[in-house]
């Protein structure tokens, strides 16, 4: 039976993550001075035949995630798409048995961090990521995708961080290879606000 403090979560929805995903982590430089034009070169009498432009195809995107499975902690849950709310904060699933993927980031299996969030518990008991802190390095995380393929990751590390000092760059920043971030609430429950004070973040690759 859960302790009473774990059941007083009326304010959990909408407060899973306090830090907003960045619009762009790398600022565009405006201080770069364009090079001076090269000295004029006399054109030949007969212009050389121009080489046809080579059109590069944009890399094909991975299919959208539809389900997450974490055998070590018994998770087998749907993944729904999430955007940003009116305040610019990441939305959260309304169903405590679902997880949500941030559509503004990488899709699982693409280079970069795919971010999946879920609740830790609800007013009635444990939610989808209740056992997230029980993961050990090397535990497998499988993301099923809409085209029938899956992306597989291994848990690397987990951190608990204050929501007031959320590590935005570490969670959302660019990576050289496909990566996964799982996020839920953690730490103490603040009865005055109805929210947990920390986030648990799992890093996987």
Whether residue 38 lies inside any domain: the answer is no
Q: Predicted confidence band at 52 (pLDDT cuts at 50, 70, 90)?
A: low
What is the sign, positive or negative, of the torsion defined by CA atoms of 82, 14, 27, 203?
A: negative
CA angle 58, 149, 83 (to 5 degrees): 65
Whether residue 37 lies inside any domain: the answer is no
Whether residue 48 lies inside any domain: the answer is no
Range of the domain at 188: 4-14+60-204
Of the ranges 10-14, 23-27, 127-131, the best mean pLDDT one: 127-131
Write the pLDDT tens digit of every residue in 78-125: 999 999 999 888 999 999 999 999 999 999 999 999 999 999 999 999
- Count structural domains, the chain: 1
Whether residue 183 lies inside any domain: the answer is yes
Whether residue 28 lies inside any domain: the answer is no
Whether residue 162 lies inside any domain: the answer is yes
Residue 152 is part of a domain; what is its CATH number? 2.40.260.10
Beta pairing partners, 143: 68, 151
Q: Predicted confidence band at 53 (pLDDT cuts at 50, 70, 90)?
A: low
Whether residue 79 lies inside any domain: the answer is yes
Whether residue 40 lies inside any domain: the answer is no
Q: Predicted confidence band at 49 (pLDDT cuts at 50, 70, 90)?
A: low
């Amino acid at each position: 039976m859960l302790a009473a403090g774990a059941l007083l979560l009326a304010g959990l929805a909408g407060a899973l993550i306090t830090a907003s995903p960045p619009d762009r982590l790398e600022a565009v430089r405006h201080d770069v001075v364009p090079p001076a034009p090269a000295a004029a070169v006399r054109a030949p009498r007969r212009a050389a035949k121009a080489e046809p432009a080579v059109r590069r195809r944009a890399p094909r995107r991975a299919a959208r995630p539809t389900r997450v499975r974490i055998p070590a902690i018994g998770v087998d849950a749907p993944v729904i798409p999430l955007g940003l709310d009116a305040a610019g904060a990441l939305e959260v699933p309304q169903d405590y048995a679902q997880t949500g993927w941030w559509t503004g980031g990488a899709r699982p299996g693409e280079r970069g961090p795919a971010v999946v969030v879920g609740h830790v518990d609800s007013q009635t008991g444990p939610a989808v990521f209740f056992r997230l802190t029980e993961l050990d390095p090397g535990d497998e995380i499988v993301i099923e995708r809409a085209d029938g393929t899956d992306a597989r990751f291994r848990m690397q590390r987990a951190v608990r961080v204050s929501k007031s000092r959320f590590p935005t760059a570490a969670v959302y920043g660019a990576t050289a290879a496909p990566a996964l971030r799982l996020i839920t609430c953690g730490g103490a429950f603040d009865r005055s606000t109805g929210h947990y004070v920390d986030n648990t973040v799992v890093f996987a690759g």
